[in-house]
Structure formats: C-alpha cells, structure tokens
Chain A
Amino acid sequence: DTGVSQDPRHKITKRGQNVTFRCDPISEHNRLYWYRQTLGQGPEFLTYFQNEAQLEKSRLLSDRFSAERPKGSFSTLEIQRTEQGDSAMYLCASSLAGPGVAQYFGPGTRLTVL
C-alpha cells in the first residue's frame, strides 16, 4: 500500500510530556498538511509544507507545537509540554501541487493526554 502512513496510531501520555508523531506521505506528493480533529468536528488546519518549506501555520499552533519536513519527504509533528486539551486525532495528508487537488489522508494518530 503506497498511501499516507502515520506512526504511531495511538499515543497515551501524561500531561507535561513531549510527544512526536511521524507522517510518511505519498512519495510523489510535494505538499504535506497536518490537521487536528476532535470528536464530532471536522479537521482543523494546523500547518502545511511544500517540499521542505513550511509555508503556513495556523493560529491554533501554539509555540508548543513544531513541525518539520527536513528532506521534503516524511514529516514530524512535536508537541512539547502536552496539555489535556491537546487530546485529539492528528491527521496528516499529502497532495500534488496546484489548485483544486485532492488531499490524501493517513489513518491519523490518536493522542490521549492524561
């Protein structure tokens, strides 16, 4: 399967700990997106990369959140000093460049902060 993969699928952590998630996009896609989704809601945009460049960050992304895509392939999302409000599903998607393209999503990483 050459779809978008995310690791881990589930993460349980204690408040105050740091966590890191990984996303491997579809190989020929140069755009990569991170979203957060809470129960009963649609995804909320967090940040976006074109190749290795991080081009946009949402106001939702506090300074405890950082994302990288060092070689323009996989990406990591790190949350420092986790809070209970960070509990959510973190979704990664990738797409080709250009307007009006479909985004292809990974299965998500479900984070629970105790």
Chain B
Amino acid sequence: SQQGEEDPQALSIQEGENATMNCSYKTSINNLQWYRQNSGRGLVHLILIRSNEREKHSGRLRVTLDTSKKSSSLLITASRAADTASYFCATDLDSNYQLIWGAGTKLIIKP
C-alpha cells in the first residue's frame, strides 16, 4: 500500500523558476526521504528529514516537514533542465527497514 501522496502529479515550469512539490502521509513516521528518478532509471537519494526536524537544506533543495499535518514539501530553487525527473517521497515507519512510497511528481523544466 502507498503511504505518501505527492502533489501535484505533474508540474511544468520554465528554467530558472522555483518548483515546489508536496507529500502527504497517513501514519506517524521516523523520517521522510525524497528521491529523484530520471526516466527509466534507478532512484537517487536527495535528502532525509527526521521527524523531529522542521526544515533541511541541501544545495538548491529545501525540505520542510510538518508532522502535525503529516505533510512535507520539497522546493527546488533556480530550476535547471537537468532537474527534469520524477520526485518521490518515502516514509520510514516505526520499523526501520521498509520505505513506503508515494506515486511521485513528474517535473518538467522547459528551457
């Protein structure tokens, strides 16, 4: 079963603009992770935010976590064509081995 739901399902923006994707989940978590997947390829880990953290940065990425609303957002600033990919959130539940995934947001950066 899928725990996370990303929103929007698809997003198309101009290069240079910021892209924001949201993830909602259903049950309490230990942490939430964001991954990127280029078309037909494996997933690449982007950033992990723990349940006791509210915001985390990594380069052009900013992730927020609101455990009261069971939601997270991923902001990509100054988007580039190479950011075109699908972005997934995955939650690590009380068990520490299994990630539960959403269906992803497909991001297209137009040059």
Contact = CB atoms under 8 A, between A and B. Distances in A.
Interface stretch (B14-22, B41-49, B59-67, B70-78): B41-49
A102 B45 contact: yes
A48 B93 CA distance: 15
A92 B103 CA distance: 18
A77 to B, nearest CB: 15
Q: What interface size band does chain B fall in?
A: 20 to 34
A108 interface: yes
A72 to B, nearest CB: 15
Interface stretch (A37-45, A63-71, A80-88): A37-45
B99 A45 contact: yes
Contacts of A107: 41-42
B107 to A, nearest CB: 14
Interface in B64-106: 88, 90, 92, 95-104
B24 interface: no
Nearest to A44: B101
A31 B96 CA distance: 11
B12 interface: no
Interface of A: 4, 31, 33, 40-45, 48, 50, 55-56, 89, 91, 93, 98-100, 102-108, 110
Given A99-B92, A102-B33, 13 more contacts: A4-B42, A40-B103, A40-B104, A41-B2, A42-B102, A48-B98, A56-B98, A89-B40, A91-B43, A98-B96, A99-B30, A105-B35, A105-B42
The 9 A-B residue pairs with the shortest CB-CB distance, nearest first, are A42-B101, A99-B96, A105-B42, A102-B45, A105-B43, A100-B31, A107-B42, A43-B101, A42-B88
Interface of B: 2, 4, 30-31, 33, 35, 40-45, 48, 50, 88, 90, 92, 95-104
